[in-house]
Each structure stands twice: as structure tokens, then as C-alpha cells.
Chain A
Amino acid sequence: MAEVELSRESDIVRSLVELADVLTNDYDVVDLLTRVSDRCVSLLGISAAGVMLADPNGDLRLIASSSEAMRIVELFELQAKEGPCLDAFRTGERVAHENLHAGTGRWPRFATVALEAGFQAAFALPLRIRDTTIGALNLFSDGQVPMAEADVLVARAFADLATMTVLQQRAGSETQRINEQLTQALTSRIIIEQAKGVIFERAGIDMAESFARLRAYSRHHNTRLTDVARATIDGSIDPHAWTAAPATDRPTPTGPDHRNSPPSS
């Protein structure tokens, strides 16, 4: 089978386009960041890559790793609170290639664990947009040769893409959440108005009085108003409940008993 030899540049461009394309569709952030890690490994001549993101408290969490060995080293980095990823995140600056030597250097404990896992050098880029740093991209190598400057630029492009991915997803999910809440609030109001109409007709009272009865029922049965309204409409509350002696909106002497559990089970 004839293999077409593609240049490395076109590989890189193709990867970026492919990842950007995912952004326009529904996507999962963890899945996408794992892909970014995998592409870094296949295109940059490094051994492993991983992405960490800050949680709402500002603490880094491991999100994606290209290998299990990488994952373990990164988890140790978080636990020991020292390492290239943490430095890149704290400073917002790239942490240049550093050859690791057990028990020494900038990160003595991290270096020991990383060397045991077979890594010789580390490099990290912040995931940053303007003044905000949201995480870091870690690149580990099993050799000691520094990455070429052209490769660093490619890594930068992947880091920027990862940053946009995360920010876009966060903005999108917040927007979706509020819009769903709006729809839910509207639906809930509509159901309550329909239930008022049902009680209005069954009990022969006006809308204001219907609402008072609905609310009284909700309080006495310690059930949410929307749930009472829904049960009113679908008839799962006995229709006679609305035509019987009207419940008042004030607590009755027996009121509190309704909240107690039945004496036996």
C-alpha cells in the first residue's frame, strides 16, 4: 500500500484544524484536552503531555494525560506542590526546558519521581488569555535534548487552543444553564396558572381564592407549589380536595402535626 509522506507542517496544521473543528460542534472538554495532549506527543517529539486546569478555588486539577506514567507523575506534582506545571500556572510564564536531576534543581522531589518514571526533562506552558491563567500544559521528555524553537511555537498554538476550548465551554454551559432555568421558571408559572383555572372551575371561586387554596394545600402538605399544581392538573390530587371545606392560608392548630412522620412504619 502506497504511503503518502506528509510533511510535518501539514500534520500540525491538520491537527489544529481538526481540533478547531471539534470546537464548532458539541464536544467534551476532557476528551478534547486529551486529544491536545496526544497530538503534542505525536508532533513534538516528546514522550508525554498533560493538561491541568484551576478549579474555582484556584487549585490545579489534572484533566488530561497522554499516558498513565505521565498521570502518576502529574498527580505527584500536585500533591508535592512543586513542579513545572505549577510554576507555569503561578507565574503565567513558560517554564523553559529543564533537565531533571534526582533530589536537586528547582523541584527536587518532583525530579526524583519523574526520573523514576523514565522522564529526563520537563517543559510547561501556561494556559493563559491576557492576564488570566486558567491552567498549564506539561510536556515531558525521556531525552535531555531541548525542544526546537519551532516546536515551542507549535506547543504554544496547542496551549492557546486548549485555553479557548475551556473558556468557550465554560461560557456556553453557564448560558445554557440560565436559559434552561428561564424555561423552567416559565413552565412552572404556566402550570400554576393552569391549576388555578382547574380549582376556579371545580370550587366555583375566583382566581385569587384559587391561588390561596393552592398555596394553602402546598403549605399543609409541605409540598412545592409547582408539584401541587402539576398534581392538580393531572388529577392525581383528589378533585374533592378543592370542593371540600376550604383550607385557610393560616396555620391551623393541627398544622404542625402534618410535618411529623407517621407514628409507625
Chain B
Amino acid sequence: MEPDRLAQILAELSSGGAESSARLCQAARDAVGMSGAGVMLMSGDLPAGSLCTSGEVSNLIEELQFTLGEGPCVDAHQKGRVVSEPDLADPQEPRWLAFTARAVPEGVRAIFGFPVTVGAARIGALNLYRDSPGPLSDAQHADALVMAQVIATWVLDVQGAAAPGMLADAIDHGGDFYFLVHNAAGAVSVQLDVSVTEALIRLRAYAFANNRSLLEVAQDVVARKLRF
């Protein structure tokens, strides 16, 4: 991308203030010239939820990673480096088997994960996907690194201004932390008389075995349509 174009995107982001994270992912998609972008926030080594997505498919990419605990964001975060899969339908190294099986039919043909970090603070990862296979150009790679940095700075700026112990409004409202899944885990822990951690594993296993999304299963539990 032209330096002027990048400067323009950054200026637009800063003029928009910090009211919502939604525009961050659209900006990342446009800056790098991809089909879609999403940002996963991580808690320890596990996905905590999505800071933003640029559209439906990116939404699914985030949700799958949250549900399955695998994917480019998870790897980029855990390994602390850029993760590239230029041809998800015919990968060089088979990985993320469950993720790939669900993502490819939705048109995810190439996918990349960039760590979102500032110094030693590991915040999460940015994923960028394209509906056609192929690697990132050097310029795209460089632009993605800039966007990951912009996102990291945005998160720290916004959260730094939040009241102690509280999630910043812009992150809380703009993001999706799959709270419904945690509601369902609480309910299932009572139904099965197990810990919530165990209940979450049972929910994931059920979703996987029945080829359903974890969110749908959680919805059924909270609607009292499904009991464990």
C-alpha cells in the first residue's frame, strides 16, 4: 500500500475516537487489501473472545478459533510470530484440521495470523483471510505488521483509561466475548454437578460430536431446549 493511503487510514481511525473497536478490523482489511480481518483477544494461552471482525466470514473464523481452540490467531499468539497459510485447501503442513474443515467451505482460502503485542505485553492476534489462495506480498506483510501495532496501541490506550477492574466500554461493546457460552457452562455445571471448566469441555465436545457450533448449543441450553 502507498504510504499516503496508510496514513489516511490511520488518520481516519484516530479521528473516529475510541468509541468502538468495530472500525479497527475494517481498517485492517482495507489497509492490507484482504477479504476480511478479525482480532482475537487472548487470556493466557486461550482465546477470550473477539475484539472486532470485518464481516460474517471473519466472524466465523473468530468463533471457530474460540470454539476449537485452534487456528492462525491461536498459533500466532502462542508462538509469538506471524503464521501463514497461503492455501488452506491444500496446506503445506496439515494443521487446524477441525478449523480448516469448517472454514474452507465458507470461502477461506488463504489465512494469516499476526501477533498483537506491545513489548512484553501479549494481547492477542490479528487474522486476515482472502477468498483466493496465495501468499502475502512483502508490502502487505509490512502493512499487516503496522496494523497489528496500531491495534495493540489502541487496546492499551482504551483499556488504560478504563476504571480499575472494568473492561473498557469500547472493548466491551465493540467486541464479542461469547458470554452466552459462559452462561451455558454455568447452567451445565449444575446439571451435571461438575466444575464450570468441565462443563465447558462437555459443551465443546457435544458441539463437535453433533457438528454444531458451540454458540448454537449454548443458545439451546439458555433457551432450556437442551439439557445435559
List residues of A whose CB falls within 8 A of some B CB.
171-172, 174-176, 178-179, 181-190, 193-202, 207, 226, 233-234
Could you show 25 A-B contacts with beta carbons less than 8 Å apart? A172-B120, A175-B120, A176-B120, A178-B159, A179-B123, A182-B171, A183-B43, A183-B48, A184-B165, A185-B159, A186-B177, A189-B172, A193-B183, A193-B186, A194-B183, A194-B196, A197-B182, A197-B190, A198-B186, A198-B196, A199-B186, A200-B222, A201-B187, A201-B190, A234-B195
Q: How far is the CB of B225 from chain A (nearest CB, A)?
A: 14
A-chain residues with CB within 8 Å of residue B165 when the two chains form the complex: 181, 184-185, 188, 226
The answer to whether the Cβ of B151 comes within 8 Å of any Cβ in the partner chain is no
A176 nearest in chain B by CB position = B121
Contact pattern, B 185-212, Cβ under 8 Å of A = 1, otherwise 0 = 1111111000110000000000000000
Residue in A178, A194, A195 whose beta carbon sits within 8 Å of that of B160 in the complex: A178
- How far apart are the CA atoms of A172 and B164 in the complex, in Å? 19
B-chain residues with CB within 8 Å of residue A190 when the two chains form the complex: 48, 177, 179, 182
The answer to whether the Cβ of B49 comes within 8 Å of any Cβ in the partner chain is yes
- How far apart are the CA atoms of A179 and B42 in the complex, in Å? 10
B193 nearest in chain A by CB position = A235
A-chain residues with CB within 8 Å of residue B105 when the two chains form the complex: none
Q: Are A194 and B186 in contact (CB under 8 A)?
A: yes
Q: How far is the CB of A226 from chain B (nearest CB, A)?
A: 8
- How far apart are the CA atoms of A187 and B168 in the complex, in Å? 13
Q: Are B185 and A197 in contact (CB under 8 A)?
A: yes
* Known contacts A189-B179, A197-B183; A207 and B222 CB within 8 A of each other: yes
B-chain residues with CB within 8 Å of residue A187 when the two chains form the complex: 43
For B, the interface residue count at a CB cutoff of 8 angstroms equals 38
A-chain residues with CB within 8 Å of residue B168 when the two chains form the complex: 185
* Known contacts A179-B121, A179-B156, A186-B43; A233 and B189 CB within 8 A of each other: yes
Q: Are A178 and B179 in contact (CB under 8 A)?
A: no
* Known contacts A185-B167, A187-B43, A188-B165; A201 and B186 CB within 8 A of each other: yes
Total residue contacts A-B, CB cutoff 8 A: 106
B-chain residues with CB within 8 Å of residue A179 when the two chains form the complex: 118, 121-123, 156, 159
CB-CB contacts below 8 Å: B108-150 with A: 118-123
- How far apart are the CA atoms of A187 and B44 in the complex, in Å? 10
The answer to whether the Cβ of B166 comes within 8 Å of any Cβ in the partner chain is yes
B-chain residues with CB within 8 Å of residue A188 when the two chains form the complex: 165
A202 nearest in chain B by CB position = B190
B-chain residues with CB within 8 Å of residue A172 when the two chains form the complex: 119-120
Q: Are A194 and B162 in contact (CB under 8 A)?
A: no
- How far apart are the CA atoms of A259 and B166 in the complex, in Å? 25
- How far apart are the CA atoms of A233 and B199 in the complex, in Å? 11
Q: Are B118 and A175 in contact (CB under 8 A)?
A: yes
Q: Are A200 and B166 in contact (CB under 8 A)?
A: no
A183 nearest in chain B by CB position = B43
- How far apart are the CA atoms of A176 and B119 in the complex, in Å? 8
